[in-house]
Amino acid sequence: MRKVLMVCTGNTCRSPMAAALFKKAAAERQIEVEVDSAGLQVFGSESANPQAQTVMREYGIDLSEHRSQQIDINALEEYDLVLTMTYSHKRYILNLRPDLADKVFLIKEFADQKRQETNTKKENINRADSDVSDPFGQSVAVYHRTATELLQAIETILDAWQ
């Protein structure tokens, strides 16, 4: 079974949403995967952001039990894949753990690679928009856009894994 870690800044918005969406989409495809989430700058054990919880409920996902957790940079070997939300998250991890370069990717970057592998016609990967936008402090509509952004990448990855 693959183990995947989703990483963002505070582990209250993007990474818990990504982990929950990944678990649900994998289960629907009957793909066995363990998915966790963590943040690079976590201060205490916080609940998922209320807007994130609202949007995830619309996907049939309950984030009410989520508590933020700090990434354990020394335990990343246990994961097959570490997916970050931004280039700065990826760079931070790889600066500390360059030995993990083969398993740390931006989520959209990894999705683009999987799309390239499954397409016979190669497309240019647009690196300019590889970051997942941070909805923190914004409206529920922005959280919806972030969820859509995440789900598109997740579905591409899982389609390639089938």
pTM summary value: 0.94
97, 115, 134, 145: the catalytic one is: 134
**Catalytic annotation, pick one of 8, 13, 112, 131:** 8
Give the model's confidence band at 118: pLDDT under 50 very low, under 70 low, under 90 confident, else very high: confident
Task: Give domain 2-161's CATH architecture.
Answer: 3-Layer(aba) Sandwich (3.40)
Write the pLDDT tens digit of every residue in 39-90.
999 999 999 999 999 999 999 999 999 999 999 999 999 999 999 999 999 9
What is the pLDDT of the chain when averaged over all its residues? 95
Decide if 134 is catalytic: yes
CA 66 → CA 53, 82, 93, 102, 146, distances in Å? Answer: 10, 19, 23, 29, 18
The pair of structure tokens assigned to 127 is 């690196």
131 catalytic? Reply is: no
Residue ranges per structural domain of the chain: 2-161
Please confirm, yes or no, whether 13 is among the known catalytic residues: no
